[in-house]
């Protein structure tokens, strides 16, 4: 297969010798840059947002797409399905670092890391009597797929009661129980920590709006690892004073504007869509890509 690989697969070159046994390969570092070939050359791609910059309709011989992301929202899926193009995502590749990030973010808020960090910079010795424990807390995870499951395992290990709400209800031993999304309003008031790991579509856009943020208990922590538009940003900004805080890796507008009040909120931990990064991602991605390519051939 004539395969175009982009820099979205960060260590792709490490695996070129194996891939070149079966495929012709061209490489494009930045997906927004001009293609290194005529689009008609391309039969398969390994990419993330390639079709945001190069219309998929311009690839007449495209038959195979391997995404380096878990989501399909950067691909025109109606066109892909209509043309019979085989498409795969990176399911499970980033779940471990994202789950670790969720735990780390909540612990930073619970253990007042910002307070101690600022005092350390000032060489100031001052105790804080308001530290919280994860043990015994209730964690509600919206989206019980790979990322949600890895989050559930880690919070359960800290002694938390972990509940899930999901589009489909199925058995998952990582959760104490899983309810349908229709039960979200029922469970929000009992959660000390709410974690978003579900996909974004018309049904989940602003799933946490002003009304639902108002249903969260005072002092609760919100963690969003999935998509920024799952949360109404203006409503979250208004709700922050009554919440314990927010751990935000994704935003409705990225990059987050410098004028956003979220930058200066004392109870917000903010990172630039970085929670997926981990030193095991390259090997996990290869273990996804290789079987998919072999199956296709």
- Model confidence over 235-268: pLDDT tens digits? 999 999 999 999 999 999 999 999 999 999 999 9
Using a pLDDT cut of 70, give the percent of the chain over it: 100
The pLDDT value given to residue 297: 76
**Given 54, 88, 154, 227, the catalytic residue:** 227
Using a pLDDT cut of 90, give the percent of the chain over it: 96
**186 part of the active site:** no
Region 212-223: mean pLDDT is: 98
**Given 20, 24, 253, 254, the catalytic residue:** 254
Using 50, 70 and 90 to split pLDDT, how confident is the model at 291?
A: very high
**254 part of the active site:** yes
Q: Which residue stretches of 5-145 are H helix? A: 16-19, 50-53, 77-82, 95-110, 113-121
The Cα–Cα gap between 129 and 136 comes to 19
**Chosen CATH of 95-270 out of 3.40.50.720, 3.40.50.2300, 1.10.510.10, 3.40.190.170:** 3.40.50.720
Pair 140, 193: CB distance under 8 Å: yes
b/e code 185-206 from CB counts within 10 Å (16+ = b): eebbeebbbbbbbbbbeeebee
**Given 252, 273, 283, 284, the catalytic residue:** 273
Mean pLDDT of the chain: 97
**273 part of the active site:** yes
The pLDDT value given to residue 296: 87
The pLDDT value given to residue 40: 98
Beta bridge partner(s), residue 262 = none
Question: Is pLDDT of 113 > 80?
Answer: yes
Question: Do 2-93+281-296 and 95-270 fold alike per CATH?
Answer: yes
Domain residue ranges of the chain, discontinuous segments joined by + = 2-93+281-296, 95-270
Question: pLDDT for 140-186, tens place per residue?
Answer: 999 999 999 999 999 999 999 999 999 999 999 999 999 999 999 99
Q: Hey, what CATH topology would domain 2-93+281-296 get?
A: Rossmann fold (3.40.50)
The pLDDT value given to residue 73: 87
The Cα–Cα gap between 113 and 105 comes to 10
Region 70-97: mean pLDDT is: 95
Q: Which residue stretches of 72-166 are H helix? A: 77-82, 95-110, 113-121, 146-157
């Amino acid at each position: 297969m004539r395969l175009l690989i982009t820099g979205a697969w960060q260590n792709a070159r490490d695996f070129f010798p194996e891939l070149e046994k079966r495929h012709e390969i061209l490489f494009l570092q930045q997906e927004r840059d001009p293609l290194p070939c005529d689009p008609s050359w391309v039969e398969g791609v390994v990419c993330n947002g390639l079709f945001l910059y190069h219309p998929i309709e311009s690839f007449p011989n495209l038959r195979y797409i391997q995404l380096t992301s878990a989501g399909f929202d950067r691909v025109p899926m109606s066109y892909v399905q209509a043309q019979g193009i085989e498409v795969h995502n990176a399911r499970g590749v980033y779940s471990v670092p994202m789950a670790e990030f969720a735990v780390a973010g909540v612990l930073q808020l619970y253990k007042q890391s910002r307070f101690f960090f600022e005092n350390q910079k000032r060489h100031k010795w001052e105790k804080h009597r308001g530290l919280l424990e994860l043990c015994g807390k209730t964690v509600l995870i919206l989206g019980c797929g790979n990322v949600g499951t890895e989050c559930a395992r880690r919070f359960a290990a800290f002694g938390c009661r972990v509940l899930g709400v999901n589009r489909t209800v199925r058995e998952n031993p990582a959760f104490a129980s899983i309810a349908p999304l229709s039960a979200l309003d029922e469970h929000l008031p009992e959660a000390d920590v709410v974690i978003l790991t579900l996909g974004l579509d018309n049904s989940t856009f602003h799933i946490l709006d002003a009304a639902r943020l108002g249903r969260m208990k005072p002092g609760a922590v919100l963690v969003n690892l999935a998509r920024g538009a799952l949360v109404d940003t203006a409503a979250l900004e208004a709700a922050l004073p009554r919440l314990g805080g927010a751990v935000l890796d994704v935003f409705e507008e990225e990059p987050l504007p410098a004028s956003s009040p979220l930058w200066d909120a004392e109870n917000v931990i903010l990172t630039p869509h970085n929670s997926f990064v981990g030193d095991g991602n390259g090997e996990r991605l290869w273990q996804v890509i290789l079987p998919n390519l072999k199956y296709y051939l």
